[in-house]
Structures are given as C-alpha cells and as structure tokens.
Structure 1
Amino acid sequence: MLLYWRPIVPGWNDQPETMAGVLDLGEVVDAIVFTGLYHKQENWA
C-alpha cells in the first residue's frame, strides 16, 4: 500500500502534529510518497 500525500504547503499542512500523523500512518504502508513541496518567496516570512 502506498500513502501519496500532495502537496505539502508551508503554513497549511506542514505542522509537526500533521507530519507526526503521516509518519504514524507510514508504519502500516509500504511507502510514503510526497510531491509538490513549493518554495515560494512569499512563504519565507
């Protein structure tokens, strides 16, 4: 089973609690794939 998580958006779903939940779920899947990590100048507050 594959956990496909997209996109990771700074300030929206990149909080430590969210990441921990994804990693917890990762214990029961074969792989975690994430794409769409966007680095935009306006996100560098």
Structure 2
Amino acid sequence: MFYPLFINVLGKGTQKYRDYWALFADNFLILQTITNLINKTRE
C-alpha cells in the first residue's frame, strides 16, 4: 500500500525516474515473495 504513493511522490520528475522507481518496487515485491516462500519452507 505504501509503495505506489512512494513511487508517485519520488517519480514526479522525468519518465526515467518513474521507470526506475517502478522497477525498484517490482523487484522489492519479488524479493519479498521469495523471502516469504523461503521462510515458509523452513518452518
């Protein structure tokens, strides 16, 4: 919920910055999902 707002605020510059923050958010979500899966497998 926090990240779209975060991207919106920081991405008010050029298209390049918007793309960068969108990519960052996507990667963060992927990493978070992988971490959750690893933690579930360990339990």
User: Which structure is higher in strand share?
Assistant: 1
TM-score (normalised: structure 1): 0.31
* Structure exhibiting the larger radius of gyration computed from Cα positions: 2
User: Which structure is higher in helix share?
Assistant: 2
TM-score (normalised: structure 2): 0.31
Higher-RCO chain (CA-CA 8 Å, sequence separation at least 6)? 1
